[in-house]
Structure 1
Amino acid sequence: MARPAILFITYISPLQKWGSAQRSRLLIEALARHGTVEVLALSFGASEADHGKVSEDRLGQTRVIDLQVHSRGLARAPRFDIVSHELTREVRKLVDLDRYDLILSRYVRPAMKLALPAHVPVIVDFDDALYEPPWAALTGPKQWVGALLRLFNDRVIARARLHTAPHRHRHYFFCRHVERKAFPSLQGSVLPNLPPRPSRQGLPDYRQPATPALMFIGLLDYMPNEDAVDWFLGHVWGRVRAAVPAARFLLAGTASDDRRARWSQVEGVDVLGFVDDLAATYARASASVVPMRSGAGTNVKALEPLLYGRPVVATPLVLSGYQGVVELGDVIPTADDAETFAAHCIAVLKDPAHAEDLARRGHARIDAQLDFPMFASIVDHAVDQALAPRNAGRSTPVADRAA
């Protein structure tokens, strides 16, 4: 029997350098153990002139098809999880949806936007299931309208549709236990986010840089990240600089020109932009800060520094994403208030031995408990269940799984 044909549908290409593409690549790698995977990326936001344009690329051995989509009308707009039969017809011109043995929808949106064939089992990676806007950072009617429309879609349109066929019969991956508990009627499992691992072999270099420095890394145009940086600079950074005058604050990640200009005016701040060499960038930092106050998901930016030998200071919201998956409270100091958050930052800057101890214990914890075999085993279970009818005639449901 031929290996199962699996279609991976997303609206963020796995070829991107963003953190969300990291999870997509892990999912594709896990799925490839079961069958032949193809990727369809729906690139919403295209101009009307570019609508319908198709390009192809490769992710290793996996074919990646990119379809440019112009957002016209409510159904085709990416903001609302409403089925678009027009978009479905355009997708069917590219791929024969009926020929696949399994479809995985990265995020809930593709599974709701497309009229997928009823006979093909669907797994949905329900990322950002409980998004919370950064209310304190919203400025102007446009941002408020955008935030309220997203909540209306997430909490009214999407939740109502999840209780209807065929959505309620699908298997859902949730990033966090709290998200799984919020949707008890859905079949599902918790599939934690994994931080991207460095390419180096062996333990990280725990030595501190010559100049004390804190760092935030992430997509800085993402509003919850912008809010986190603004809160840190407005309420925490001054306290840190008063105690450690030589300290620097490094901002790594893509940011608009106006954000770069605004943050660069703050004393002691270096806006690095997008960085290709993460190891060299982390080597410049004494510790990483993750002062998130809103958003969703599991904030892998809080775990990645540990794999590079750097301690982390975060808000409790960040650690809540890994509750029930890995215990981090004893290796990542947390605080919601500016005074305590600053005190944690000052402690790791002034005491290199304390910083190294946190980094070593955190690295050991993450390295042992959050790895690809754990991730793949959760995917395996869901895929085996989805393919069970197809595999009914064989001695084992994973007989053709790649080694």
Structure 2
Amino acid sequence: MRELLYLTHRLPYPPNKGDKIRSWHMLQYLSRHFRVHLGCFIDNEEDWEHTRRVAELCASTRFIDLRRHAARWRAMQALLARQSMSVHYYRDPQLLAWVHDLLAGGRVRHALAYSGPMAQYLDGGAGSALYRLIDFVDVDSDKWRQYADSKPWPVSLLYRRESQMLLQYERHIAQQFSAASFVSQAEATLFRQCAPLARRKTGHFNNGVDAAYFAPGLALTPAPYPAGAQVLVFTGAMDYWPNIDAARWFVQQIWPALRYRYPALLFYIVGSHPAAQVRELARVPGVVVTGTVPDIRPYLAGATLAVAPLRIARGVQNKVLEAMAMGKIVLATPQALEGIAAQPGLELLLARDEIEFIHHATRVLQQQAPESAMGAAARQLVLQDYDWERNLQGLGAMLGLQAQANPGHIVPAEQLHPTREPS
């Protein structure tokens, strides 16, 4: 069996946040086709207990403890070097030495870097002789640009600089590597515009959803909400800035009008490690901040409406796909729907501003059985377009596992499984 080096910026288990969901399913797929050598960082103390589960799928592993204070110091040093802070944040001599020793054996011929900063370990040296795939997932440089637009000076200046430095790095890596992949056609199209010299190497494969796990009608207990309550729910990692910004914007700009019309209405913010700015929202009448929960599904199943009020986003929002898989009506901003080929009005609801959010939410709350048609259409879309096993064939094609792929040519995922363009 062929051997592959897989580098990730975070332990790909448990799959409890967006990046880990994708990297975990990729590892499972890769382990069926390669002897996988995994090198990754661990940035959460709780994740150390899961290393054995991950190692079971690998021929060898190297886990690096990511000390956040040291990583932030490295990121600050990038300012003097006129380089990307994100790249320096994940620069570690121990991991570099492990990669060097592994490649010196000459058995590894393929390498996959998950997220841009991990590509630095394959940039030059023995890595140049490999077939190298970089899964950027999102166009992170554009995400930093969005951060800059939302932050006051001087933080905005720092973030804008990072956007520029990271884009230079992304262009360099895409040109040097054999192929580059993204999480959606929209992300791949944006990157082709940002890095035209790498456009022929750029493709994508969609995320998926475990539709058997996220299924409507499951007997989930205990019920997290008061009996008979109408509830809006927002899920996600609540220490992640786009989610923090979304929760604050919703509570400050949308919630007062909805709560005025429906005094008993509840808004649940469900997700791990809520930042102080999120915890403060629990002081607002009707708003509940749960923190980490053992199972997100009961909160989705019992909600009247799942909201995704993101103003900053790149890639595909798993929170949207999971709610759709459970047959829930989703009300989301255009940013939250980036990369999801759903038709507003048929499979979900689209709100471009506060007024549309209030309008759509009010209509759903007034209905007696709001989920029957739209919820069913949402789940059908997930079953049709967001099956992991089917979508990971795109990854296989990029690594030469399909007959129509070869190391010099990247097969765009849309040729493998056509999907509808977002309307």
Using the size of structure 2 for normalisation, the TM-score is 0.78
Partner of 1:156: 168
Amino acid at match of 1:155: L
Q: Give the Cα separation in 1 of the matches to 2:320 and 2:387.
A: 16
Q: Is the 8 A contact 1:205 1:308 kept in 2?
A: no
Task: Please show how residues 128-139 of structure 1 align to structure 2 within 5 Å.
Answer: 128-129=138-139, 130-131=142-143, 132-135=145-148, 137-139=150-152
RMSD: 3.4
Residue in 2 that maps onto 1:392: none
For residue 380 of structure 2, what is the amino acid of its counterpart?
A
Q: Which residue of 2 aligns with 1:188?
A: 202
330-339 or 264-273: which moved more? 330-339
What is the alpha-carbon distance in structure 2 between the residues aligned to residue 101 and residue 126 of structure 1? Answer: 20
**For residues 281 and 91 of structure 1, what CA distance do their matches in structure 2 show?**
42
Query: AA paired with 1:273?
Result: G
Shift in alpha-carbon separation, 1:34–1:134, aligned structure 2, 3 A? same
Alignment correspondent of 1:240: 258
CA distance in 1, matches of 2:396, 2:343: 24
Cα distance, 1:86–1:29 mapped onto 2, change above 3 Å: closer
Among 276, 285, 289, the alignment partner of 2:294 is 276
Cα 1:45–1:38 change in 2 (3 A) is same
CA shift digits 1:157-185 (9 cap, x unpaired): 433x2465x23xx2111112232223243
Structure 1 residues 67 and 355, CA gap change in structure 2 (3 angstroms): same
Q: Distance in 2 between matches of 1:260 and 1:178?
A: 30
Q: Name the structure 2 match of 1:90.
A: 97
Helix, strand or coil: the match of 1:349?
helix
Question: Aligned pair in 2 of structure 1 residues 284, 8: CA closer, same or farther (>3 Å)?
Answer: same
Q: CA deviation at 1:58?
A: 3.0
Preserved contact between residue 308 and residue 332 of structure 2 (Cα < 8 Å): yes
Deviation of the 1:293 alpha carbon: 0.9
Q: Does 1:222 align with 2:248?
A: no
Identity across the alignment (%): 20
2:146 alignment partner, SS class: coil
Task: Kindly indicate whether the alpha-carbon contact (under 8 Å) linking 2:269 and 2:287 is maintained by their aligned counterparts in 1.
Answer: yes
- Consecutive unaligned residues of structure 1, counting only runs of 5 or more, are 47-52, 390-403
Equivalent residue of 2:85, what SS? coil
Residues 295, 113 of structure 1: CA spacing in aligned structure 2 closer, same or farther, 3 A cutoff? farther
Q: How many residues align?
A: 374
Check if 1:34 corresponds to 2:33.
Answer: yes
Rounded to whole Å, the distance in 2 between the matches of 1:382 and 1:62 is: 21
Decide whether aligned partners of structure 1 residues 214 and 309 sit closer, same or farther in structure 2, where only a CA change above 3 A counts.
same
Are 1:313 and 1:332, in contact at CA under 8 Å, matched by a contact in 2? yes
Q: Is the 8 A contact 2:274 2:291 kept in 1?
A: no
Aligned to 1:57: 52
- Counterpart of 1:34, as a letter, is H
> CA, structure 1 residues 171+203, in 2 after alignment: closer, same or farther (shift >3 Å)?
farther
Q: Indicate which of 399, 408, 411 corresponds to 1:383.
A: 399
CA distance in 2, matches of 1:337, 1:18: 26
Instruction: Please state if 1:172 is matched with 2:180.
Output: yes
Equivalent residue for 1:99, pick from 107, 113, 116: 107
Quote the Cα distance in structure 2 between the aligned partners of 1:20 and 1:376: 15
Query: Under a length normalisation based on structure 1, what TM-score does the superposition of the two structures give?
Result: 0.81
2:109 alignment partner AA: D
Q: Point out where structure 2 has 5 or more consecutive residues left out of the alignment.
A: 408-423
Distance in 1 of aligned mates of 2:114 and 2:34: 17
- Kindly indicate whether the alpha-carbon contact (under 8 Å) linking 1:220 and 1:254 is maintained by their aligned counterparts in 2: yes
For 1:313 and 1:200, the matched residues in 2 are separated by: 18
CA contact (8 A) 1:134 1:295 kept: no
Change (3 A) 1:86 1:288: same
With over 3 angstroms needed to count, the CA separation of the structure-2 counterparts of 1:202 and 1:249, relative to structure 1, is closer
Task: Say if 2:210 and 2:387, in contact at 8 Å, map to a contact too.
Answer: no
Q: Secondary structure at the match of 1:57?
A: helix
* Superposed displacement of residue 189, structure 1: 1.8
Name the aligned partner's letter for residue 199 of structure 1.
Y
SS in 2 for 1:95: helix
* Counterpart among 187, 211, 214 of residue 229 in structure 2: 211
Q: Distance in 2 between matches of 1:94 and 1:27?
A: 24
Structure with greater helix share of residues: 2
